[in-house]
Amino acid sequence: MSSFWSKTAKGVTPYVPGEQPQDKQYIKLNTNENPYPPSPKVLEAIQDAASLLRLYPDPEALELRKAIAKHFGLSHQEVFVGNGSDEVLAFAFMAFFMPDRPVVYPDITYTFYEVYASLFGVKATTIPVREDFTIDIRPYCTDRAGVIMANPNAPTGLLLGLKEVETIVRSNPNNVVIIDEAYVDFGGQSAVTLVRDCPNLLVVQTFSKSRALAGMRVGFAIGSTELIEGLNRIKDSINSYPLDRLALACAKAAIEDDQYFKDITQRIIKTREGTKGALRAMGFNVLDSKANFVFVSHSDIHAAQLFKELRERGILTRHFPRPRIDNFLRVTIGTEEQMSQFIEALREVIADRQ
Ligand SMILES: *Cc1c(COP(=O)(O)O)cnc(C)c1O
């Protein structure tokens, strides 16, 4: 604790990202990155954009916003882009909650929400998910607080149907409801179709997972022009250019290559379903994830132990030492080959104990 730190810097408990070790090559199944490279069109776009790097990028990110709008059949005034969806979410907390509007979210969810709530002094209340980690939507339908929810949820991968999302949104006409759809492309139905009808709905998505651009840091939000304007007011008060030229060009190329995107997401979904089957056959409890990861536990070996043994075998997974999920492991879906190696390593770990 330094005496130079502000009260805010002293008070925060920062988010802890999954490890990105530089010491050796691991099979990385710990941070939900895409195992496939981005679209080849992205590489071409970088070449072109690089020649203009002496110039500042477009502060309005107009071309990218238009490309995203076109993809969803909307106008660019309904699209906001940021430096990763984490930044978009931070701006959303500032634009819609800070400091005096409370927010609710599930007790088991993306831990960045509690970091933002604490950093921005937003009063946050968590609502426990059920014993089986599913979400009971009723406590979210009070119109007494903003709502932020990941759908599919993280780290469980469980999905709420569009009807249920719509019920939450429509029951909160006086509060902003943020649906974080970081994983929606792996089997969910997006709530983007509701934004024209629901001015209180903000849908947040990212290029990091389904479009294989985690290294570029591009996220976006879709919502009514009034919500997008609110986000722009915050953005233009912090950083005029959160997206650099390379990021803008990459993301545009990625969203325009829909066929490639569909191909890689379909492959990941297929591998996920195969992995679920293999894990269940080995006695694992596997939640029915609709994301690019699975959330699993085993009755005989604690998740912390599994995490350690897999790491020793060169395979990284994610273990959250938190209440309720301490005995679960989150495993990102890699390539078929990587998942075979993962299953093989698990077999070894289990056999070694007997
Ligand atoms: C990965 C993730 C994000 C952040 O994505 P970036 O765009 O890479 O910042 C946001 N929300 C959830 C639930 C995530 O899992």
110 C-beta closer than 6 A to ligand 1: yes
Ligand 1 contact via 182 beta carbon (within 6 Å): yes
- The closest-lying atom of ligand 1 relative to the alpha carbon of residue 208 is 8
The percent of residues in the chain predicted with pLDDT above 70, rounded, is 100
Domain borders along the chain are: 7-36+259-353, 40-257
Our answer on whether the CB atom of 208 is closer than 6 Å to any ligand 1 atom is: yes
DSSP state letter for 5 = S
- What is the CB neighbour count within 10 angstroms for residue 9? 12
Q: What is the mean pLDDT of the chain?
A: 96
Fold of 7-36+259-353: Aspartate Aminotransferase, domain 1 (3.90.1150)
Does the domain formed by 40-257 have CATH 3.40.640.10?
Answer: yes
> Quick check: CB of 214 below 6 Å from ligand 1?
yes
Res. 328: pLDDT tops 80: yes
Query: 135-180 pLDDT, tens per residue?
Result: 999 999 999 999 999 999 999 999 999 999 999 999 999 999 999 9
Give the residue, out of 31, 32, 86, 112, with the most ligand 1 atoms within 8 A of its beta carbon, to mutate for a pocket test.
Answer: 86
**Cα–Cα distances in Å, from 54 out to 51, 58, 178, 201, 251?**
8, 13, 36, 38, 20
- Closest residue by CA, ligand 1 atom 1: 182
- Ligand 1 proximity of 293 Cβ (cutoff 6 Å): no
Q: Tokens standing for 188?
A: 């969910």
User: At residue 123, does pLDDT exceed 80?
Assistant: yes
Query: Nearest residue CA, atom 2 of ligand 1?
Result: 182
Q: What residue's CA is closest to ligand 1, atom 11?
A: 182
Strands (E), the chain: 27-28, 79-82, 103-106, 124-127, 146-150, 177-180, 201-206, 219-223, 284-286, 293-298, 315-316, 318-319, 329-332
pLDDT tens figures, 301-310? 999 999 999 9
